Amino acid sequence: MNRVDARLFDRTDFPEDEAETKHLQALDGADTRLRLFQMDLLDPASVRPAVEGVHGVFHLASPVILQPAQDPENELLLPAINGALNVLRAAKDSGVKRVVMVSSQTAMCPTAADWPAGKVIDDDCWADVEILKKLELWYNVSKTLAEKAAWDFAGEEGLQLVVLNPGLVLGPTLTPAPTGSLRLLMLLLGGQKLDMEPFFVGCVDVRDVAQSLVVLYENPSAQGRHLCMESAVRLVDFHDELANLYPEFPVHRIQEDKQGWVVRSKAPSKKLIDLGVRFTPFDKTVRDTVDCLRNKGEI
C-alpha cells in the first residue's frame, strides 16, 4: 500500500481538532502516506473530495453517547444513518471498488425473550429495533438501522460492501483521550453497575479490529457480515475476569446471571479466523488497556 488517506472529521472546527490529529501526523511515514480531510458526514458535498481517486473506503465514523440521549433522533440516529449513506453514495459516484463498514455486534443481538435456547449468535442475527427503542438503547438502534440502510443501498446500487461487527472494543489507544468504550471500562473498574445484559456478548482488541478491517478489504472472498470477538461470554464472566485481574479496583461482581440466551464460545468469529485473523487473548487485551490508561493518567 503506497498511500493511506484518513477521512476523520464530521465537524467544521478543523483548526481546533489539531490536537486530536497530532498522534496521527507523528506516525512513521505520515508525511508521505497520510492525508487528512475536513468533512461533515451530513453534508454530501464535503464527503466527495475525500473519496475521489481511491480504490477502497473504510467507514468507521458513528456517534457514541454513553449517557442517556436527550434527542436520540438528531444525536444518534440521523448522523449514523445519513452519515453512512452519504459515504456510500460518494463511494459509488466516485467508482470506489469496495467499502468496508464498521457496524457493531449490538446490531446482531436478539434482544428478545423468546430467543431459542442454545442458538449461537451469528451473522444472520439481527437486533429487534422495536425492543431496543423500548429499552431506550439508542446507540444500538443507530448501529442497527445504519447497517440495514447500508445493505439496502449497496444492494440497490451494486456497491461492493462488507461489514465488520465488533464486540466491545478495548486495547491500547493512540488517541489523546479515551474512546467511548474505554470510558465504559473505566466506569466498570471504578465499581459502576452498567445495564449491558440486553446486548453484551464479548470484547475484542482494537488491534484485532484493525487486522480484520484490512483482511476484509484485501480478500474479495469476504462477503456479508463478520462478528468480531475473541470469545463469546456473558457479562458476569466479563466482570469476574476484570475483578480477578485487578483486585485493587472495586469491580462490581454480578450476583445473578441474566444472560441465559448467550451461548459461550471460544471461536465466535470463525469467518474471520478462516480468513487468517488471530485474536488477542482477553487478559492481554485488558492488561494492555489498563497499562495504556495508567500511562495517560486516566486511572
What does the pLDDT read at residue 32? 87
pLDDT of 12 > 50? The answer is no
pLDDT of 11 > 50? The answer is no
pLDDT tens, position by position, 223-277: 999 999 999 999 999 999 999 999 999 999 999 999 988 999 998 999 999 999 9
pLDDT tens, position by position, 79-110: 999 999 999 999 999 999 899 999 999 999 97
pTM equals 0.92
What does the pLDDT read at residue 20? 75
The DSSP-derived string for the chain is ---EEEE---SS-GGGGGGGTHHHHTSTTHHHHEEEE---TT-HHHHHHHHTT-SEEEE-------SPPSSHIIIIIHHHHHHHHHHHHHHHHTT-SEEEEE--GGGT----TTPPTTPPP-TT----HHHHHHTT-HHHHHHHHHHHHHHHHHHHHT--EEEEEE-EEES---SSS--HHHHHHHHHHTT-----TTT---EEEHHHHHHHHHHHHH-TT--EEEEE-S-B--HHHHHHHHHHH-TTS-PPPPSS---TT---BS-TTHHHHHTT--PPPHHHHHHHHHHHHHHTT--
What does the pLDDT read at residue 57? 95
Closest CA to 53 of 97, 89, 86: 97
Mean pLDDT of the chain: 90
- Active-site residue set: 143
Instruction: Calculate helix-pair angle for 282-295, 235-245, nearest 10 degrees.
Output: 60
pLDDT of 211 > 90? The answer is yes
pLDDT tens, position by position, 137-149: 999 999 999 999 9
What does the pLDDT read at residue 16? 53
What does the pLDDT read at residue 14? 47
Domains of the chain: 39-170+203-233+263-280 (3.40.50.720)
